Structure 1
Amino acid sequence: MKAYLILEDGHIFEGESFGAQREVISEFVFNTSMTGYVEVLTDPSYAGQSVVMTYPLIGNYGVALEDQESAHPFVEGFVVNELSRLASNFRMNMSLNDYMIENNIPGIQGVDTRAITKIIRNKGCMNGMITTKNYKIDDVIDRIKSYKISGVVERCTCDEPYKLGTPGGYKVALYDFGAKRNIGRELAKRGCDVTVVPANTPAKYVLEGNFDGVMLSNGPGDPSECTGIINELKELIASGIPIFAICLGHQLTALAHGFETEKMVYGHHGANHPVKDLYTNRVYISTQNHNFMIKEDSIDPEVAKVWFRNVNDGSIEGMEYLHENIRTVQFHPEACAGPLDTNYLFDTFIDMMGGKKHA
């Protein structure tokens, strides 16, 4: 069946439908990963967005359900140049096409993903529609342009606290703003007693729970909309508890300190972004998925300094807070779908909690 991708700037791409045959309007971003499409589909940071994969052949190793980074996919739609006709992998449970049908995700293949990526790079992330109907552009353009991502953290967070790891290690409260599963796994692997808590959990719950540290997870959407969460973070920060933050958590921590964030032109989405540690001058390859960043001119140099910087565009990738036991990174150190370069940052968080080991 024919399918169409209609972008809000008027571009129309004709291809072939796969996955669920339904219509969807969302924001479109591109991802430069060569592998890890299961992890991309199930990364909650993509809530409200459709993903264009720049690597030309997708689906060749099928879907292994144990690779999911959440209980179900969060992307709105999926755009590929070529869907592999065969999937071969001893770990696979089903084909990518069947997985998308099962999870009601529409896809389009056979389109020029290079051209789509160049449009997004030049004009920025934009809204679009995947549909099997042959619309006239004037009939749908206002509907496409009016789409807005909102309330996505509430869609992604857990409903109630739950435990990971084993008792007796450092007690960590992991705020779930849309946390990828491997964040909890990496903490548990290091012997932590992890309690995953919903995004709107009051600071009082953590401060009265005798926790040794707090980790703030990745997540979707505009961080400045999370005003209630930011107010609770201010209370946690004032308490002096060690805090390590990832992605959305990194941005929310900055906002809680009075700094500002802004939307990037096309964001960072992929598993091959170089970041430089400004203390050691070492460069690491990182996984990233975000459309917002901290505004550098809003940072008070008496409060915080830049820890990591993106090698490609110079944007801020990490912060150290000078008078608090707080460090944050914009990228995803949990290494799913890879690479493993910055996985050591979980050990950094353990060191931050050192001397406060739970009895």
Structure 2
Amino acid sequence: MKYQNRKKAIILLADGAIFYGKAVGNKEGTSFGEVCFNTGMTGYQEVFTDPSYYGQLMVTTNAHIGNYGVAENESESDSIKIKGLICRNFSYNYSRPEANDTLENFLEKNNLLAISDIDTRALVSYIRDNGAMNAVISTEVDSIENLKKQLAEVPPMNGLELASKVSTKEPYFYGNPDAAYKISALDIGIKKNILRNLEERDCYVKVFPYNTKFEEMKSFNPDGYFLSNGPGDPEPLTDAIKAAKQMVDSNLPVFGICLGHQVLALSNGISTYKMHNGHRGINHPIKNLLTGKGEITSQNHGFAINREETENHKDVEITHVHLNDHTVAGIRIKNKPAFSVQYHPEASPGPNDATYLFDEFITNIKNHKLQTA
């Protein structure tokens, strides 16, 4: 074993529950965030670097983490975005030819605290019953009362604006300047693979900061607008909500994913709410109500839009539902080329069931061009 005498560690939940484990490697310290769990058996590097996970302590339900290492091209952003990692068995060595480093080194470079040897089955079961809540992971196992005091001061995820923490500070371009289509994308936590999917469909994308005014995005003279995924509560994003409303009113095609889906709903007067646990994994079943087909999808969200308000909205149609709990998984604006989904069509953990949504966005752009030619 690489480390014989690893430091004892704990995860302390806001309600006082404690689970015991050990620190990964020689790392010591303390980290706070909202505890959540992801049920994916693969894709941990993509999860850890997904901006949508900013501010969260990630519990991985798969028993082994790190066994296939990390690869340079599998990060969804420029750094790890989770606040801490909680797992059962941590692998210090890897056996995948495509990998170029260990997960331990990757965590170390990103200064991330990770703890292992946790009974993750018991922890996840507890979270399922009691809901997502703030927590702290720490090697300061003899300072529990002090940790409780610090934890009590951490703001809850409900009402927390986090897009500003992960969004680009300045606009930037992605793709081929001579591409057929130009897209203005609002970055409220955008993943790299979304940009790759747009580039593959002959799009040149200008990515704007989270609080950019619609007029500035319009000045790029785009063929369509994109609302990205991202972390935190959507309701505080007043600038993004206003911009989304103006995007729809412009009659240009609009596509939203995850947080962008919630922002589009809010721009139409549909409220959002914090879920008991959220959806985080790579095998969530979705039904497309327009085609009757099922999709296996990747999901990562702790908020959802109000189904009753959506059903009663005269200008909004539900297009997709989550088959586990019947939450709204997709909408479109009636008589407008605007739609969004709550899941991640750019994430393909095996099935590519949802990538057609990018093609639908391009089809909307082509049709709009024909209509206005």
What TM-score comes out, normalization by structure 2 length? 0.93
186-195 or 202-211, which deviates more: 202-211
How many residues align? The count is 359
Asked whether 1:344 is paired with 2:356, we answer yes
Task: Name which of 125, 131, 149 aligns with 1:142.
Answer: 149
What is the letter of the counterpart of residue 224 of structure 1? Answer: E
What is the letter of the counterpart of residue 174 of structure 2? Answer: L
CA distance in 1: counterparts of 2:144 and 2:81, whole angstroms: 27
The answer (yes or no) to whether the contact 2:253–2:368 under 8 Å persists in 1 is no
1:107 — aligned with what? Answer: 114
CA distance in 2: counterparts of 1:21 and 1:103, whole angstroms: 14
What is the letter of the counterpart of residue 280 of structure 2? Answer: H
- Name the Cα RMSD after superposition: 1.6
Structure 1 residue 295: Cα displacement: 0.6
What is the letter of the counterpart of residue 203 of structure 2? Answer: C
1:225 aligns to what SS in structure 2?
coil
Equivalent residues in 2 for 1:34-113 (5 A)? 34-113=41-120
CA-to-aligned-CA distance 1:222-249 (integer Å, 9 cap, x gap): 0001112212222222211110100000
CA-to-aligned-CA distance 1:198-239 (integer Å, 9 cap, x gap): 111110022232211011110000000111221222222221
Structure 1 residue 112: Cα displacement: 0.6
75-84 or 161-170, which deviates more: 161-170
Name structure 1 gaps, 5 residues minimum.
none
Distance 1:298 1:356, change over 3 A: closer
158-167 or 21-30, which deviates more: 158-167
2:367 — aligned with what? Answer: 355
1:279 — aligned with what? Answer: 290
1:5 — aligned with what? Answer: 11
CA distance in 2: counterparts of 1:181 and 1:338, whole angstroms: 18
What is the letter of the counterpart of residue 46 of structure 1? Answer: Y
The answer (yes or no) to whether the contact 1:319–1:327 under 8 Å persists in 2 is yes
Structure 1 residue 337: Cα displacement: 4.5
The structure whose RCO (Cα within 8 Å, separation 6+) is larger is 1
Structure 1 residue 32: Cα displacement: 0.3
What is the letter of the counterpart of residue 342 of structure 2? Answer: Q
Asked whether 1:311 is paired with 2:303, we answer no
1:152 — aligned with what? Answer: 162
What is the letter of the counterpart of residue 329 of structure 2? Answer: E
CA distance in 1: counterparts of 2:76 and 2:132, whole angstroms: 24
CA distance in 1: counterparts of 2:261 and 2:225, whole angstroms: 12
CA distance in 2: counterparts of 1:57 and 1:265, whole angstroms: 26
Asked whether 1:120 is paired with 2:132, we answer no
Task: Name which of 245, 248, 272 aligns with 1:261.
Answer: 272
CA distance in 2: counterparts of 1:162 and 1:339, whole angstroms: 31
Structure 1 residue 13: Cα displacement: 1.4
CA distance in 1: counterparts of 2:305 and 2:243, whole angstroms: 19
331-340 or 210-219, which deviates more: 331-340
1:319 aligns to what SS in structure 2?
strand
1:97 aligns to what SS in structure 2?
helix
Name structure 2 gaps, 5 residues minimum.
1-6
The answer (yes or no) to whether the contact 2:66–2:102 under 8 Å persists in 1 is yes
- Paired-residue identity, %: 39
Asked whether 1:131 is paired with 2:138, we answer yes
1:223 aligns to what SS in structure 2?
coil
Distance 1:38 1:336, change over 3 A: farther
333-342 or 180-189, which deviates more: 333-342
CA-to-aligned-CA distance 1:141-175 (integer Å, 9 cap, x gap): 23213312434201111121221222231111121
Structure 1 residue 7: Cα displacement: 1.1
The answer (yes or no) to whether the contact 1:57–1:81 under 8 Å persists in 2 is yes
1:321 — aligned with what? Answer: 333
What TM-score comes out, normalization by structure 1 length? 0.96
CA distance in 2: counterparts of 1:159 and 1:332, whole angstroms: 24
Distance 1:145 1:336, change over 3 A: farther
Task: Name which of 153, 175, 193 aligns with 2:186.
Answer: 175
CA distance in 2: counterparts of 1:163 and 1:37, whole angstroms: 27
CA distance in 2: counterparts of 1:297 and 1:146, whole angstroms: 34
CA distance in 1: counterparts of 2:84 and 2:350, whole angstroms: 22
What is the letter of the counterpart of residue 358 of structure 2? Answer: F
Structure 1 residue 86: Cα displacement: 2.3
CA distance in 2: counterparts of 1:262 and 1:81, whole angstroms: 31
CA-to-aligned-CA distance 1:109-151 (integer Å, 9 cap, x gap): 0011011101111111011111111145443323213312434
The answer (yes or no) to whether the contact 1:170–1:357 under 8 Å persists in 2 is no
2:227 — aligned with what? Answer: 216
294-303 or 241-250, which deviates more: 294-303
